[in-house]
Amino acid sequence: MRLLVAGATGQLGAGLLETMGEAGCTMIPLLRVPEPGRRTAGRLRPPDPALVGEPVRGDVRVHRWGLDEAAVRRLADEADAVVNLAGQTNWAGRGSDIYATHVLGAEHGYLLARELTALSGRRIPYLYAGSVYAAGGAVGAVAEQPYPRRADRTVYEQAKLLAERRLTALAGEDSPLLILRLCALVGNSATGRTLRRNSLYMLADRWDDLPGGVLPAMPAARVDALPRDVAARTLLRAVRRLAGLPGTEALICHLGLGETAPSVRGLLDAAFTADPERFRRAPRVVSASARQIVWTSQNAHRFLPLTPTAHNALIGLRYVGLDRVFDRSRLAALLGGGLPEAGLGLLAGLLFGPPRRPDAVAAGGSMARFPG
Ligand SMILES: NC(=O)c1ccc[n+]([C@@H]2O[C@H](COP(=O)([O-])OP(=O)(O)OC[C@H]3O[C@@H](n4cnc5c(N)ncnc54)[C@H](OP(=O)(O)O)[C@@H]3O)[C@@H](O)[C@H]2O)c1
């Protein structure tokens, strides 16, 4: 399969490039035109066998992703699916950027897939990288269903939710549509390479800086995270299956560890046992209620003079401090089994192993960005 991919230079895009060859897929990346002063997420490193032809230039925030007539005609001949991984993952960033990238980007991408379907006479499926965290402060079992209204979402979570709503309203049978809600991504399972050390790595990098040396979390809080290559392999399987689906409705699936996600306490214990020297003092998790964690992570910046780094870190607290399980039964049905896996030891090793330079690029400090 040949995929038109927006967001190829990001963390998940890197995972795709690492795994496309073995999956028999190639990529036509949609890259933004570089702008002075704008930091890009990452870089493609041609010649990469997963890349075919010339990348196309565009921007997901604009109609047709900014592609001209000739580019659209070329893609109608060449692309078999449209994959939207483009994201604004700095949660403390401008709300307008976050909304435009996620909500408009999601919609323009689906309309583009439809146009390619009409031009090519083939059904071109569309995969949108959503986020399990659009669930806001929900705890307990979280289903692969449209999320209900809640008042406790962050700006980023609300944007991911609106993107989903827009897509479910647009879905039609000409282009199959999958909203793949991702859990947190960490580096490559074999090499540890990561584009940045996001907020999950905060547990490792800034443990000794936590006030009082304690982490507030619900007693059975879980960390749902996948290495980027494991997530990418599953995504590629999902997009293949999607191409053969008849459905007229948007399909929503959770891409994560679900019921097998480790507890935050278990993860810290595993890391401490493997390398006690890494910690100045033994990790301590103090019990907090869902309400305390959700409220604090949503509102503290209104009262405290937080730097963007600290603001992001505080939002990240809700991604390690809540006790919830993202159901995977629809993902299992789509894939026909073979759900993604990542053991406690692997995750602890990826997060708490030594930072691996030069690929580990800290963005504004190790806590600055969580992968959303
Ligand atoms: N990583 C996670 O843990 C995680 C968890 C849940 C959901 N997600 C979702 O999964 C997707 C991928 O995440 P990621 O971690 O790979 O993100 P990332 O590392 O921050 O990369 C974002 C990508 O989007 C591109 N991009 C941003 N704005 C764009 C625009 N206007 N037009 C075209 N491309 C644009 C960036 O290109 P430049 O190189 O030009 O900046 C980059 O390739 C996002 O939608 C994110 O919300 C991620």
pLDDT: is 182 or 369 the higher one?
182
Specify the pLDDT at position 355. Answer: 54
Handedness of CA 22, 26, 32, 35 (dihedral sign): positive
- pLDDT mean across residues, the chain: 89
Question: How far from 140 is each of 81, 144, 286, 313, CA to CA, in Å?
Answer: 34, 13, 19, 23
| Mean pLDDT calculated for residue range 290-314 | 87
Residue with tokens 């997420």: 41
Alpha helices in 175-246 (DSSP H): 199-205, 228-243
| Mean pLDDT calculated for residue range 274-303 | 88
pLDDT at 105 over 70: yes
Percentage of the residues of the chain whose pLDDT score is greater than 70: 93
Atom of ligand 1 nearest to the CA of 185: 3
pLDDT at 303 over 90: no
pLDDT at 74 over 90: yes
pLDDT digits (tens, 9 = 90+) for 145-168: 999 999 999 999 999 999 999 999
- The type of residue at 288 is A
Please give the distance, rounded to the nearest whole angstrom, from the Cα atom of residue 289 to the centre of ligand 1.
31
Q: Which residues contact ligand 1 via a Cβ below 6 A?
A: 6-13, 32, 40-42, 59-61, 85-89, 101, 129, 131, 182, 184-185, 195, 371-372
What is the DSSP track for 119-130? HHSS---EEEEE
Please list, in sequence order, all residues whose beta carbon lies within 8 angstroms of the beta carbon of residue 121, skipping any fewer than 6 positions away. Answer: none
Specify the pLDDT at position 69. Answer: 97
Please give the distance, rounded to the nearest whole angstrom, from the Cα atom of residue 41 to the centre of ligand 1.
7
pLDDT at 372 over 60: no
Long-range contacts of 336-342 (CB under 8 A, 24+ apart): 336/241, 338/237, 339/234, 339/258, 340/226, 340/230, 340/231, 340/233, 340/234, 340/255, 340/256, 340/257, 341/230, 341/257, 341/260, 342/189, 342/225, 342/226, 342/227, 342/230, 342/257
| Mean pLDDT calculated for residue range 208-233 | 90
What the chain holds in terms of domains, given with CATH numbers, is 2-195+224-259+325-341 (3.40.50.720)
Please give the distance, rounded to the nearest whole angstrom, from the Cα atom of residue 150 to the centre of ligand 1.
25
Check: CB of residue 203 under 8 Å from CB of residue 269.
Answer: no
Please give the distance, rounded to the nearest whole angstrom, from the Cα atom of residue 11 to the centre of ligand 1.
7
